[in-house]
Copies of this chain bind each other. A is one copy, B any other.
Amino acid sequence: MAIDPAFQLALLRHGLLIGTGVPGIYGRGPRFEAVVARLETLIGALGATAAPEMMRFPPVMARATVEQSGYVQAFPHLLGTVHCFHGDDAAHAVLVDQVTCGDATWMTAQAPTDSVLTPASCYPVYPAVAARGPLPASSHVVDVQSWCFRHEPSPDPARMQAFRQREFVFMGTPQGAAAFREAWQARAEAFARRLGLPHRLAAATDPFFGWHGEIMATLQREGGLKSELLVPISDSDNWTACISFNMHHDHFSRACGLRLANGDLAHTACVGFGLERLALALFRHHGFALEADGL
């Protein structure tokens, strides 16, 4: 990777991002936020033909859901779990001393909660829809957006730890899922052209953990389950995935019991738009002075 260090500095200098002292965790200035809002309007219009059901979830979700869906096993290095202090007055006195002295061992008293940081915006959707019972129609599409967290500290502003993802999630038949992916790949390429962004569609794999993950990545590649729309942002040699297309077969439906009216497990697929990455790509290719109303 050859990340251009001038890119991050320019984003900070133009007030688009605000440093917080943690790599990949930035504040946003008004012009950056206006571009993200404009992107959301445009993406919403792209998805409107399917008359999707809108759901919005907070940046934290049930730990049980990521345990059941296999995310913990596949991406433990990326998942952020939420921990809390459960001690008494005596333990608190120790904690106060430690924090006051700048001694980070206060964190050893933190205990797990039932929540984790949402790793991808579609994860809370499947159990929420499954809880209603079998899908009434042969297909259902949900429009979801949330903040996501992945623990991958990086100096590359296009690889943030905290970012927003807008997704459309398909639930229905296997044929419907395949058609959904095809349609969205074409729609996303037209969208990138309309935004004036250089781009390329490519087969992809997820960053599964360890040697066990290499097997999973091979299966994903051989099954043609993931593709990405790549745009050059901070590194002209390694283009950045800005939109991804994912076929899940019945992976998520099996975990939460999501079924069609005929009793079969539903197949699911999703298209995810990385809002920060798309905004950064626009500033990279149209200049740091870009205003949302120019889009």
Contacts and interface: CB of A to CB of B under 8 A. Distances in A.
Interface of A: 18-22, 25-30, 33, 54-65, 67, 72-73, 76-89, 92-93, 95-96, 99-100, 102, 104, 106-107, 110, 112-115, 117, 124, 127-128, 131, 147, 149, 151, 153, 161-163, 209-212
A41 B131 CA distance: 34
Number of copies: 2
A-B pairs with the 7 shortest C-beta distances?
A: A58-B162, A76-B85, A59-B59, A30-B54, A107-B112, A80-B82, A84-B151
B28 A56 contact: yes
Nearest to A77: B85
A55 B28 contact: yes
A149 B82 contact: yes
B27 A57 contact: yes
A27 B146 CA distance: 10
Contacts of A99: 67, 72-73
B115 A95 contact: no
A210 B92 contact: yes
A62 B211 contact: no
A26 B57 CA distance: 7
A76 B95 CA distance: 9
Given A84-B79, A210-B89, A60 B162 contact: yes
A37 to B, nearest CB: 11
